[in-house]
Amino acid sequence: MPGRAAPVPVADHGAASGAGTGKRAARAVPAWRRSLRPYLLIVPALLLTGGILYPFGLGLYYTLFDFAASKPQPDLVGLGNYRRIFTQPAFWDSARVTVAYAVGAAAVETVLGVAVALLLHRSSLVGRVLEKVLILPLMIAPVIAAIMWKLMLQPSVGVINHLLEPFGLGGVQWTDTPTGALLSSIAVDVWVYTPFVAILALAGLRSLPASPFEAAAVDGAGWWFTFRRLTLPMLWPYVLVAVIFRFMDSLKVFDIIYALTEGGPGDSTMVLQIRAYLEAIRFQRYSFGISYMIVLWAVVYLVTMVLVRYLGRIQNRAAEVAR
């Protein structure tokens, strides 16, 4: 509806229109003021949005210079920062670590979250009791969760190795080996965010229509067939929302890695946001650090668009299955 604000469902008649119904309106509001109304309502939000977009624009502008604490008079370098990023092995290492982290975390959380949701959906006594505390890890700040796990994973005095000792598995160097550090940080992510997937999947399970399942039961369909052909296709839109959120969030992970490993050992957990942080804040190479973030932002933006399109298609298909 270009041009003027068209009231969607509510016709906004300044003066009471329904002839003879009720009292007359206190005063008629002129038409030009009526069409302005929605704009007046969103002006504050627009101003604030501008306040966030301004630093973003400023950041984009900085990336065209070699702005750093060591260079108070920055030179214009055009796309030099980006050229430097793409020709550095460090960037590609970070990109690999970031994708490995995001894929690993999102995959484990999805499988585990859906499994927990299916188990809770059976609504056994045990399940009903446990469901009350399902969201607990999700409400703990990720950085605090990482601190907790750091204490527990400490090789010599941590409780995890102590508990493993009877099984002859003591002394594991959890966060001190490259693979171990990456897996440990993914484990913390899984600990915090599995409830997120489980909650959405559980909401999905509880909203599925009953009739297809009754029909399948009458036909004597087995559990596996019902799950594959009915439950999963109808549940997939809900799960996909969770997967999109988790995958996008894991691409920009910061808190967990910062508290658990700070990108180490070596560069084994040096995800993009951590590297940008070290570049910009610790080494004060502002332009270079922001350039890293602009690249990540562009990737996140593109991936989001693709996934949201896919989600729309899936939702339509699920609606057909439900029919």
Contacts with another protein in 78-107 (CB under 8 A)?
A: none
Rg of the chain (C-alpha set): 27
Q: Is 243 in the site for another protein (CB under 8 A)?
A: no
The CA distance from 323 to 266, in Å, is 54
Chain positions 286 to 305 lying near another protein, rule: CB under 8 A, are 286, 289-290, 293-294, 296-297, 300-301, 304
The single residue among 77, 245, 283, 317 that binds another protein, judged by CB under 8 A, is 245
The single residue among 64, 77, 119, 183 that binds another protein, judged by CB under 8 A, is 119
- Tell me which stretch binds another protein (CB under 8 A): 88-96, 101-109, 136-144, 171-179: 136-144
Please name the residue ranges forming H helices in 122-177.
125-131, 142-153, 159-164
Q: Which residues contact 132 (CB under 8 A, 6 or more apart)?
A: none
Cβ proximity of 273 and 254 under 8 Å: yes
Q: Is 238 in the site for another protein (CB under 8 A)?
A: yes
Q: Is the dihedral of CA 269, 294, 145, 259 positive or negative?
A: positive
The single residue among 22, 30, 168, 220 that binds another protein, judged by CB under 8 A, is 22
- Tell me which stretch binds another protein (CB under 8 A): 70-78, 154-162, 167-175, 211-219: 154-162
Least Cβ distance, residue 99 to another protein (angstroms): 14
DSSP β-bridge partners for residue 76? 65
Write the interaction track for another protein spanning residues 29-68; mark x where CB under 8 A is met and - where it is not: x-------xxx-xx-xxx-xx-xxx-xx-xx--x------
Q: Tell me the residue type at 281.
A: I
Q: Is 314 in the site for another protein (CB under 8 A)?
A: no
Instruction: Write phi, then psi, for 65 (nearest 5 degrees).
Output: -120, 170
